[in-house]
Structure 1
Amino acid sequence: MNAVVDTARRQKEEYTGDADRPLGSYLATLAVYGLTTGALALLARRRGASLHSIGPGDLALMTVTTHKMSRLMAKDPVTSPLRAPFTRYAGTGGPAELSEEVRGHGVRHAVGELITCPFCVSQWVATAYAAGMVFAPGATRLAGATMTAVAGSDWLQLVYARLQRSAVG
């Protein structure tokens, strides 16, 4: 066992150099994701849930919902209390979005990186959406339609603001 631990430490040192990268915490995060996904698949199989293919309409709804939920979780001011234990406020990052710096070490840092990165959190959101399609497709589609409408509204707000600026200037 010591040989495995020594090899892991050596690989971490070779990979990170002097940078503080929480590779062990990333591995733990990956393990949680894998175990959660595996447990959901096992539960679906045991319950005899229908694992049908996702059609183009559902895929479009899932895509826009994943985008909107990921940005909402990672950047929205309203969800900042959920990120606060892992981040520090650093200002605004765009229209209705915050910029935050990750703080801490180890698991705290790894979780902070995950929850402030919409690209990173989107995998978890899409997986949750897929599970919702297996266990509660109607409610999942309703939530997806709601988030898709919010995403469409966001774009309209941005276009409207731009048109206002160009009309004034």
Structure 2
Amino acid sequence: MTADDEAPEHRCHGYRRYDERGTVPLAGYATLATAFAAATGTLTVLARRRGVTLPERVPPWDVLLLGVATYKTARLLTKAKITGFLRAPVTRRVEDAKAGEVMDEPLGGNAVKQAVGELVTCPFCASTWSATGLVGAYVLAPRGARLVGAALSAMTLADWLQYAWTWTQENAEG
């Protein structure tokens, strides 16, 4: 049986349903995957045109720096109150969370809007894009990328110190 032969209840917007409820925005995911591939390709072409030689290896400290910076960038994009204006076109606020973070959920609508909403509310999803941007910057301008990575890593360290201070105060007070 082909997708065209399926019963109407198993079809959604002209495509076979991926899940039972027909809520997975496959066309949106495909659009985002294409945009990601295009951005990665553009970074590669830009590096080649600039004559950038890719590093033979990336030092472990740079990997650590980029990893922590990726974590913080993804959290800022997906959870920070202050970046809500970026998410607002494709999400709605569900609740305020601790430490200045929020919980947003994707809006419905067309598949691309829903997929983008899912991307900007999921730190794990956004980390792929964040890492690619930071690594692209690292290849094109390593000193600048290290500086930005150091700032984002310092913010992450400061966050953990805030959590440690709060925990210490709560436990000292009994």
The question of a shared fold, defined as TM-score above 0.5 by the shorter chain, is answered with: yes
Indicate if the aligned counterparts of 2:80 and 2:100 stay in contact, CA closer than 8 A: yes
Of residues 134, 140, 144 in structure 2, which corresponds to 1:139? 144
Q: Which residue of 2 aligns with 1:152?
A: 157
Moved >3 Å (runs of 4+): 9-12
Identity value in percent: 39
From 13, 16, 33, the equivalent of 1:13 is: 16
- Alpha-carbon distance between aligned partners in 2 of 1:65 and 1:121, rounded to the nearest angstrom: 12
Structure 2 CA distance for aligned equivalents of residues 94 and 21 of structure 1: 29
Which residue is equivalent to 1:96? 100
Report the number of matched residues.
165
Which of 108, 125, 130 is the aligned partner of 1:125?
A: 130
TM-score (norm 1): 0.90
Q: What is the match of residue 28 of structure 2?
A: 25
CA contact (8 A) 1:12 1:23 kept: no
User: In 1, distance between residues paired with 2:44 and 2:143?
Assistant: 19
The partner residue of 2:114 within 96, 109, 126 is 109
TM-score (norm 2): 0.88
| Structure 1 Cα separation of the partners of residues 170 and 22 of structure 2 | 44
Give 5+ residue unaligned stretches, structure 1: none
In structure 1, how many angstroms separate the alpha carbons of the residues matched to 2:167 and 2:22? 41
Q: In structure 2, what is the equivalent of residue 47 of structure 1?
A: 50
8 Å contact from structure 2 (residues 96, 103) kept in 1? yes
Letter in 1 for 2:63: L
CA distance in 1, matches of 2:159, 2:19: 39
Deviation of 1:40 after TM superposition, in Å, equals 1.1
State the 1:14 CA deviation.
4.6
Secondary structure of residue in 2 paired with 1:57: helix
Distance 2:23 2:157 in 1: 39
Give, as a single letter, the amino acid of the residue that structure 2 aligns with 1:26.
Y
Gaps of 5+ in 2: 6-10
- Work out the CA distance in 2 between the residues paired with 1:84 and 1:15: 27
**1:6 and 1:125, CA in 2 relative to 1: closer, same or farther beyond 3 A?**
farther
Distance 2:4 2:130 in 1: 35
Q: 1:75 aligns with which of 57, 76, 79?
A: 79
In the alignment, the residues of structure 1 paired with residue 102 and residue 33 of structure 2 have an alpha-carbon distance, to the nearest angstrom, of: 26
Q: Which moved more, 1:147-156 or 1:87-96?
A: 87-96
> What SS does structure 2 have at the residue aligned with 1:49?
coil
RMSD (Å) for aligned C-alpha atoms:
2.0
Q: Is the 8 A contact 2:75 2:123 kept in 1?
A: yes
Q: CA deviation digits over 1:60-105, x for unaligned, max 9? A: 1000000011001100000001001111111123322101111122
Give the Å deviation of 1:6: 5.0
Choose between structure 1 and 2: higher helix proportion. Answer: 1
